[in-house]
Amino acid sequence: MRMPKSLKTYMCLMLILTFIAAELILSWNISHAQSKSAQNSQPDLIGVVKNISGSKITIYIANLSSQNDGRGFGRGRIELTSNTQTITVSSKTSIVTRVFQNGQVTEKKLSTKDLKTNNILYIWYADSKKKTISKILVQGTYDPYQTPETIGVIKKAESSRITITVATIERPQPRQNMSNNQPQQRPAGQPPQGGFGRGMMNLKLSSQTKTVAISKSTEIVTRRFQNGQMVEKKLTVKDLKSNNIVYIWFSDSKKTTPKRVMVMGTYSKK
């Protein structure tokens, strides 16, 4: 029995459409799987934007100082290195950031024009040779003053120098129950030892003292809440007092001249 020509044409057309649909679904599944894989895997490279020129981005290579406790990557502290690398973004590179929307974390698409100096980038490559970038995730902005080089409590403040007692920050031990099985409590409004750090850190003084020179270029600041936001207020040497807790960043390798001093409250032994 001969098949009508019109039916044969119809069947051929259906086979072609089925094949095209299968190809599209397979491509989408592969793309979706790669996207999910990139989203849930560790980045191939972490960097902080140094400068941007068209499709080329020069970054300072960075590391995470510590990984998290199973909540996904990106919760460690960024440690910047002096090594730089230039990466090239193509039209196939997905640039995104993550935002909270309707109670969920969603990805928002960006372009190279949205990238700024000091943006933290998590980078995935599409190939094992690490030449083609498949995805860049913008993870906020790097704070160059995130970790102080020296922490101290001012012992003496003079017009051109300060003498500090070198200190370290340590995590407090878990509170022990008292004999009556009631937890130890701190009077309302009384800060933890050291007087700062959201109640999560304790300041431990050492026996070492250090004198550093304050130059005209030394930036002296403190931080305070204003209109619901943390803002910096500039200070002068005259504003520095004994027992001020200071975070210090230096401008020289010998660590004798600070480029930045941040006052973090007042130390109290009580």
Spatial separation of the C-alpha atoms in residues 206 and 201, rounded to whole Å: 16
Half-sphere exposure of 209 (CA within 13 A, CB side): 7
Of the three residues 119, 141, 163, the one that is the final residue of a domain is 141
Statement to judge: residues 237 and 129 lie in one domain: no
Instruction: Say if strands 219-226 and 202-213 run parallel, antiparallel, or are unpaired.
Output: unpaired
Predicted pLDDT at 184: 46
- Residue-wise pLDDT for 183-216, tens only, equals 444 433 333 333 344 444 588 999 999 999 999 9
What would the DSSP string read from start to end of the chain? -PPPHHHHHHHHHHHHHHHHHHHHHHHHHHHHHHHHHHHHSPPSEEEEEEEEETTEEEEEEEEESS--SSS-SS-S-EEEEEEEEEEE--TT-EEEEEEEETTEEEEEE--GGG--TTEEEEEEESSTTS-SEEEEEEEEE--TTSS-SEEEEEEEE-SSEEEEEEEEEEPPPPPPB-TTSPBP-PPTTPPPTTS-STTT-EEEEEEEEEEEE--TT-EEEEEEEETTEEEEEE--GGG--TTEEEEEEESSTT--SEEEEEEEEE----
Which of 100, 122, 141 is a domain's end point? 141
pTM: 0.53
Residues 230-251 pLDDT 10s: 788 999 999 999 999 999 999 8
Range of the domain at 55: 43-141
Q: Are residues 130 and 210 in the same domain?
A: no
How many domains, the chain?
A: 2
> Per the domain annotation, does 60 fall within a domain?
yes
Distance CA 153, CA 140 (A): 31
Tokens of 129: 């040779």
Q: CA 214, CA 83: separation in Å to the nearest integer?
A: 30
**Per-residue pLDDT at 23:** 59
- Whether residue 6 lies inside any domain: the answer is no
Please report where in the chains the tokens 């200071």 appear, as a residue. Answer: 246
Q: Do residues 246 and 222 touch, judged by C-beta distance below 8 A? A: no
Residues 124 and 50 both lie in one domain: yes
Specify whether 223 is located in the same domain as 254. yes
In a domain, 37, yes or no: no
Residue 13 lies in a domain: no
Identity at 33, one-letter amino acid code = A
CB atoms within 10 A of CB 89: 19
Same domain (yes/no): 63, 155: no
Q: How far apart are CA 39 and CA 41, in angstroms?
A: 6
Confidence of residue 164 (pLDDT cuts 50, 70, 90): very high
CB 133 within 8 A of CB 89: yes
Of 99, 120, 141, the domain-final residue: 141
Please tell me whether residues 258 and 160 are part of one structural domain. Answer: yes
With respect to residue 262, please indicate whether it lies within any of the assigned structural domains: yes
Q: Give the mean model confidence (pLDDT) for residues 10-36.
A: 57
pLDDT, tens digit (0-9, with 9 covering 90-100), for 113-159: 999 999 999 999 998 888 899 999 999 888 877 788 899 999 999 98
Q: Is the pLDDT of residue 262 over 80?
A: yes
Which amino acid, 253? S
Q: Are residues 160 and 226 in the same domain?
A: yes
Residue 58 has pLDDT above 80, yes or no: yes
- Is there a single domain that holds both residue 158 and residue 233? yes
Q: Are residues 250 and 204 in the same domain?
A: yes
Residue that wins the pLDDT comparison between 181 and 41: 41
Is 9 part of a structural domain of the chain? no
